Each structure stands twice: as C-alpha cells, then as structure tokens.
Amino acid sequence: MIKLGDNMKKKKLKRKFKIIFTLIIMLIVLLLIIVPKQTEEHKGKENTKVEEKNKYEKISYYRKENLDRYKEYEKENKNLSLEEIITNVNIGLDNPYYTNTLPSTNLNTNLILVNKYNYLTEDYVPENLENIQTTYARSGMQLVKEAKEAFEELSESAKKDGMNVIAMSSYRSYDYQVNLYNNYVAEDGKEAADKYSARPGYSEHQTGLAVDVYNLDLPYTSFEETEEFNWMQENAYKYGFILRFPEDKVDITGYQYESWHYRYVGKEVAKEIKDKNLTLEEYLAKKVEN
C-alpha cells in the first residue's frame, strides 16, 4: 500500500511537473512572439515621427515654430512641393489676408516688408525722406535718400536710352493712404478695393521705398504697353529696384499685377530676386535666420 501510494504520488508529481513544464514552454514561446512585435511597432512609430520632422528640417529655411502650420498646410495643399509649403507658411499664406498680422520689422532698412500680413503703424515715417528732382518725377515726390538717388540714376539712364521713366507716386503717409483707400472703397466696395489698394498701414508706399512710374504719354496703368516697361524689365535691378507685384505671383503677393509699381531693395538683393524669379515675400521667407 505504501509502495503503491508512493508510485501514485510520483505519477501525480510527474504529471504536475509535465503540466508546469508545458505552461512554462508556452509562456516562453508567447513571450518570444509578442515582445519583438511590440518593439517593432514602437520603433515604427518613432521612425515616422523622426521622418516627418526631418522632412521639413531638410529645407534650410525651415522654422521650428511653424512646424504645426507646415503639417496643416501640407494636408490642404498636397500638390505643392516641400519647399513651397515651407515658403508659403513662412510668408503667412496659410492664413487669410489681413489675419494674424504683425508689425513690420527691419524698419528703416531696404528689406522692410509691408504686405497683407505685415503693417506699419500710424506714426511710422521713414528717416531721410528726400524730394526726387522734378526732371525725374512729378513735383513733391519723395523717397528715402538711398532709393531716391538710385531712382534718379535709373531715370537718367533711361533718358539716355531715349525713354521716360518718371515717378508719379512714391512716399505716401498713413493719412494719405487712409483717404485713398476710403475713396476706393466708396467707389468699388471693400472687396474690390482690397485687391488693388492697400489698407492704411499695409501700403508699401509708406516705406518711402516704393515708386509708381509712367512714361509721360500713357496713364501709369498702361505702363506695360510702353517701351519703358521693357527697359525696366531689363534694367531696373541694376539700380536696386524690383517689379513688386508680377503677373505670375498674384497668389504670393496678394496683389493684382502692377506693371508700374517698383520697390527699392538694394542692388545685390534686386539681382538675386530677379535671377531666381522671386518676390520680396519669397526672398525673405527663404532667408535663413541666424
């Protein structure tokens, strides 16, 4: 009985041992299957994050603070290249015009940016305003000294080629712009006026670096039809001026094409903008901030 009992106990023990052993093996197998899978998934998630981040960071003018906006803008503009996405968001184009506006920086420099996202305050008057000589302008036209001298050189050079490039409007004060804009709104309504005229504070003419030209014969709005326009296309940059609102950049500048409106940015920048077919907005958005 004792021996038999012992045998039975042994058998029971063996069975228990087998069950425990099988359970342990199953557990090990399960662990071997599940653990690596989870790590892979985890790694996968991290990789996509890194990839997404790197994707934008690869562009030299990527701005960390705009990361979420790049992602949002890309979702709605899948046809655009990565460079375009970064450029447009840096400009502010992911927001409607006249929203999320900021006061202009670089005041009293050639690179001051005034557009539908960047404005000048009511009291901003540029330093060193000077009258353009009446040989080259209607009377009382002012520009900032450096721009004024450059414009006179440009106009003189055009004259030597038998052309008239004459300033018909240049510096405008904030108050002047208030009147101008209000008149346009009264005539055409706000929506239309916003397309061709700047709201007070948002006009580049307040910088003292912008000039509207004509050739004395035709109204300035027909400047594109003149020989002088072609001359400007070839030569304006040599004097530091750019065509500010080109025909193919309406979506970037937010302004209708203006063949008569030129902006002084300095010779070096004007050349780069012309060579790379940029607008001032794009030039500044692609600038790497140190």
Residues 254-273 contacting Zn ion, CB under 5 A: 261
For residue 212, what are the contacts with CB-CB under 8 A and spacing of at least 6?
A: 167, 168, 169, 170, 220, 258, 260, 261, 262
Which position among 74, 212, 228, 282 is part of the footprint of Zn ion (CB under 5 A)? Answer: 212
Of residues 270, 227, 241, 282, the one with CA closest to residue 115: 282
Is 272 considered catalytic here?
Answer: no
Of 74 and 212, nearer to Zn ion (C-beta) is: 212
Structure tokens belonging to residue 146: 């450096």
Minimum distance, C-beta of residue 209 to Zn ion, in the bound complex (Å):
11
SS3 112: coil
Minimum distance, C-beta of residue 264 to Zn ion, in the bound complex (Å):
12
Put the strands of the sheet holding 166-169 in their side by side order: 166-169, 210-214, 258-264, 241-245
Size of the site for Zn ion (CB under 5 A): 2
DSSP 32-59: HHHHHHHHHHHHHHHHHHHHHHHHHHTS
172 scored as a contact of Zn ion (CB under 5 A): no
Residues 126-155 contacting Zn ion, CB under 5 A: none
Minimum distance, C-beta of residue 55 to Zn ion, in the bound complex (Å):
39
Minimum distance, C-beta of residue 214 to Zn ion, in the bound complex (Å):
11
Which range, of 80-88, 127-135, 220-228, 253-261, touches Zn ion by CB under 5 A? 253-261
Give the binding site for Zn ion (CB under 5 A). 212, 261
Active site residues: 258
